[in-house]
Structure 1
Amino acid sequence: MMLTDELSEQERALLELTATPAATLLGAVSMILRTTLFTADPVAWVDMWQARPDLARIEWMDGPELADVVAQLAAKDYEGTIEGVPGLRITSYDDHNAKLHWIGTGTPVLLQLTRQTS
């Protein structure tokens, strides 16, 4: 197989489907959660996916409480230093589900979080 420096039409079409604002948000979220979800109280499983270009979902079982994950992800300013995902705002949450709105791109993205218990 010969590799070239140019994208094929198939590669370009696949990138248009997968390189979306929702995928970008999932990348930012996973960078923050990569240690949180696998600490002393690790999750049994975790799954992340984009349902549409403007909708991303993360579900996990056991592990950290939803409120702790939301607190880590939501953008906050500590004396001029931004922590969390820049532009990610909390819309609503309870003990098992949360909705956050990401305004960090031209296409706003809804992030839905769900913590299952065993």
Structure 2
Amino acid sequence: MQKYLLIAIGGALGSIARYGVASWVANRFGIRFPYGTLAVNISACIIIGFTMSLLGRHTDIPPAWRFLIPVGFIGAYSTFSTYEWETLVELREGAFGIAALYAIGSFAAGLGATWGGSVLGDLFG
């Protein structure tokens, strides 16, 4: 039960942080280019890279932190960072083909799914 509570707390904080960071950046740099989302995605990549590497090397850090930060906070803050982390893991393991397939496939399928969802939204909207 504790892990679900930690995920929920991290998720709430991540959602608030996402809104705050994206809004602040958009207000500062404008909305012609999605600077806010870009800032969230890149900062999430830094956070997940740091957190997962740190937690992987320090077994003295309680496992509960994995639920609070990478799963809860970063999961709500940005899933782009998880996509990048999983691609990096494949690259580090020498699975270049899997990494390329995952990276390109995720991008293409995600863009296609977004387009398809948009078409459905237009049809039913």
So what's the TM-score if we normalise by structure 2? 0.23
More relative contact order in 1 or in 2 (CA 8 Å, sep 6+)? Answer: 2
Instruction: Choose between structure 1 and 2: higher helix proportion.
Output: 2
